[in-house]
Amino acid sequence: MTRILSMTHMVLAQEGNLLNLKVQQIPMPPTDSPLAFLSRLIRDRRSIKPFDMDATREVDRELITALLENANWAPTHGLTEPWRFHIFQGDARRALSETMQRIYREMTPAEEFREEKLKKMSQNPLLAPVVIAWCMERHAGKIPEIEEIEATACAAQNFFLSACAAGLAAYWSTPPLIDTRDFAKWLGLGVEDRCLGLFYLGWPKEGLKPTAGTRHPVLEKIRWVSQASHTQG
Ligand SMILES: Cc1cc2nc3c(=O)[nH]c(=O)nc-3n(C[C@H](O)[C@H](O)[C@H](O)COP(=O)(O)O)c2cc1C
């Protein structure tokens, strides 16, 4: 199974794993099992920002669609499948960049306005060959909104891991403007739908060095509850 990892990610995986030894982590499963493969993929996945993507190298639509097919298999309460993908490529990214700049200028109070933020916002869509507005389409019925958001986030992680396995760089960004009615309208979303993030996608620049991931030990986050008489406090 490791054969489906690209060379880039084999290197990322090996080096990332060495770096991970610096923090206290549950060790990798020792065998060449599906769990070992998946654990490596999950632990070595890193956010790679548009600056580190090759803006000149396109990502095939077939590949993007295959990654989104994996997103489409996320768990979904009531099978509402609320995820929707608005994919910007080519010149459409410029329109996205301009819209983001306009909304940022309009919504940001003068004392919070940051020129560097505006610059980054304008450049990011042009540095990544693909930008996906990751949206939740709200369904009438019994499923609460938060569960449709959660399902859409599960789809995002499926996508992220799939992109990583394909050797692609990806980065989920959430500037506050994406959750405005103005941006939702520009995307053509319904009144109860929401854009949860912008997924930047591209091939990593040649020779890009892996960065180390860090997480606090999972043991700090676990509370085993095994007594029937358990009470809080
Ligand atoms: C819901 C969500 C929103 C995020 N939004 C941003 C963001 O707006 N800007 C940013 O720099 N990173 C954002 N990130 C990425 C995190 O910064 C990143 O996951 C974190 O630094 C850990 O790095 P890793 O993904 O390489 O493990 C977001 C991640 C998630 C899950």
Question: What is the structure's pLDDT at 24?
Answer: 62
**Domain limits at 16?**
1-44
Mutate to test the pocket of ligand 1, among 146, 158, 174 (most ligand atoms within 8 A of CB): 174
Atom of ligand 1 nearest to the CA of 213: 27
Q: Tell me, yes or no, whether 56 and 161 share the same domain.
A: yes
Mean pLDDT of the chain: 90
Count of domains forming the chain:
2
Higher pLDDT, 141 or 8: 141
Question: What is the structure's pLDDT at 11?
Answer: 37
Q: Tell me, yes or no, whether 203 and 152 share the same domain.
A: yes
Give 140 Cα–ligand 1 centroid separation in angstroms: 30
Mutate to test the pocket of ligand 1, among 172, 201, 208 (most ligand atoms within 8 A of CB): 172
Q: Tell me, yes or no, whether 1 and 100 share the same domain.
A: no
**Separation CA 67–CA 162 (nearest Å):** 6
Higher pLDDT, 14 or 131: 131
Q: Tell me, yes or no, whether 26 and 120 share the same domain.
A: no
Least confident of 6-10, 161-165, 195-199: 6-10
The answer to whether residue 110 sits within a structural domain is yes
The answer to whether residue 16 sits within a structural domain is yes
The answer to whether residue 12 sits within a structural domain is yes
Task: Spell out which residues line ligand 1, taking CB within 6 angstroms.
Answer: 46-47, 172-174, 197, 213
Q: Tell me, yes or no, whether 125 and 38 share the same domain.
A: no
Question: What is the structure's pLDDT at 232?
Answer: 64
The beta-carbon contacts of 32-39 under 8 Å, at least 24 apart in sequence, are 32/1, 32/2, 34/1, 37/1, 37/2
| Average pLDDT rounded to a whole number, residues 195-218 | 96
Q: Tell me, yes or no, whether 54 and 38 share the same domain.
A: no
- Above 80 in pLDDT, residue 1? no
The answer to whether residue 76 sits within a structural domain is yes
SS3 string, the chain, reads CHHHCCHHHHHHHHHHHHHHCCCCCCCCCCCCCHHHHHHHHHHHCCCCCHHHECCCCCCCHHHHHHHHHHHCCCCCHHHCCCEEEEEEECCHHHHHHHHHHHHHHHHCCHHHCCHHHHHHHHHHHHHCCEEEEEEECCCCCCCCHHHHHHHHHHHHHHHHHHHHHCCCEEEEECCHHHHCHHHHHHHCCCCCCEEEEEEEEECECCCCCCCCCCCCCHHHHCCCCCCCCCCCC
Give 173 Cα–ligand 1 centroid separation in angstroms: 6
The answer to whether residue 80 sits within a structural domain is yes
Question: What is the structure's pLDDT at 233?
Answer: 57
Give 214 Cα–ligand 1 centroid separation in angstroms: 13
Q: Tell me, yes or no, whether 37 and 147 share the same domain.
A: no
The answer to whether residue 228 sits within a structural domain is no
**Nearest in space to 108 (alpha carbons), one of 173, 174, 177:** 177
Residues 74-123: tens digit of each pLDDT? 999 999 999 999 999 999 999 999 999 999 999 999 999 999 999 999 99
| Average pLDDT rounded to a whole number, residues 180-187 | 98
Q: How confident is the model at residue 13 (pLDDT cuts 50, 70, 90)?
A: very low
Question: What is the structure's pLDDT at 31?
Answer: 80
Residue nearest ligand 1's atom 19 by CA: 47
**Separation CA 31–CA 144 (nearest Å):** 41
**Separation CA 57–CA 173 (nearest Å):** 21
**Separation CA 160–CA 8 (nearest Å):** 16
Residues 143-180: tens digit of each pLDDT? 999 999 999 999 999 999 999 999 999 999 999 999 99
Q: What is the CATH number of the domain that holds 87?
A: 3.40.109.10
The answer to whether residue 53 sits within a structural domain is yes
Give 163 Cα–ligand 1 centroid separation in angstroms: 15
Question: What is the structure's pLDDT at 43?
Answer: 95
Q: Tell me, yes or no, whether 89 and 31 share the same domain.
A: no
Q: Tell me, yes or no, whether 19 and 81 share the same domain.
A: no
The answer to whether residue 217 sits within a structural domain is no
Give 47 Cα–ligand 1 centroid separation in angstroms: 7
Q: Tell me, yes or no, whether 32 and 56 share the same domain.
A: no
Question: What is the structure's pLDDT at 167?
Answer: 97
Q: Tell me, yes or no, whether 104 and 124 share the same domain.
A: yes
Atom of ligand 1 nearest to the CA of 175: 8
Q: Tell me, yes or no, whether 38 and 138 share the same domain.
A: no
Give 142 Cα–ligand 1 centroid separation in angstroms: 31
Give 113 Cα–ligand 1 centroid separation in angstroms: 21
Residues 32-44: tens digit of each pLDDT? 899 999 999 999 9
